[in-house]
Amino acid sequence: MFSYLSRWYQARFSDPQALTLLFILLGIALTIYFAGGLLMPLLVALVLAFLLEWPVAQMARVGISRTAAASLVLILFIGLMILLSFGLIPSIWRQGAALLTDLPTMLDKGIILLQEQAQQYPQFISTDQLDTMVSELKKLLDTQHLLDIAKQLLGYSASLLVLMVYAILVPLLVFFFLKDKDELIRGSKRFFPSNRDLARKVWFEMNQQIFNYIRGKVIEIVIVGVVSYVFFALMDLRYAALLGVLTGLSVLIPYVGATLVTLPIALVAFFQWGVSPEFGYLMLGYGIIQALDGNLLVPLLFSDAVDLHPVIIIAAVLVFGGLWGVWGVFFAIPLASLVKAVLNAWPNAEADAAKAALEAQAE
**Quick check: is 93 in a domain?**
no
Residue 107: closest CA among 76, 133, 68:
133
* 262 burial type by CB count under 10 A (0-12 exposed, 13-18 middle, 19+ buried): middle
Q: Does residue 97 belong to any structural domain of this protein?
A: no
217 is a domain residue:
yes
- Per-residue pLDDT tens listing for the chain (363 residues): 566 556 655 555 556 677 777 777 788 778 877 876 778 888 888 888 988 988 999 999 998 999 999 999 999 999 988 887 787 778 888 888 888 787 777 777 777 777 777 777 776 666 677 677 767 666 655 545 545 544 554 444 445 667 777 788 889 999 999 999 888 888 877 777 676 677 777 777 777 777 778 888 888 999 999 999 999 999 999 999 999 999 998 888 777 788 888 888 988 898 888 878 999 999 999 999 999 988 888 878 776 566 677 778 778 878 887 877 777 777 787 888 778 877 777 766 444 544 544 554 555
Residue 358 lies in a domain: no
Q: Is the separation of the CB atoms in 158 and 149 below 8 Å?
A: no
Give the mean pLDDT of the chain. 77
Helix then strand then coil, % of the chain, to nearest 5? 85, 0, 15
Q: How many domains does the chain contain in total?
A: 1
**Which residue type is seen at 123?**
Q
> For 306-332, what is each residue's pLDDT tens digit?
667 777 877 887 888 787 777 777 778
**Does any domain span residue 226?**
yes
Report if pTM > 0.75.
no
Task: Specify if 212 maps to a domain.
Answer: yes
Question: Which amino acid would we find at residue 50?
Answer: F
Q: Is residue 332 part of a domain?
A: yes
pLDDT value, residue 23: 79
What span, in angstroms and rounded, lies between the C-alpha atoms of 167 and 48? Answer: 13
Q: Are 166 and 78 in contact (CB under 8 A)?
A: no
**Could you tell me if residue 277 is inside a domain?**
yes
Range of the domain at 212: 196-346
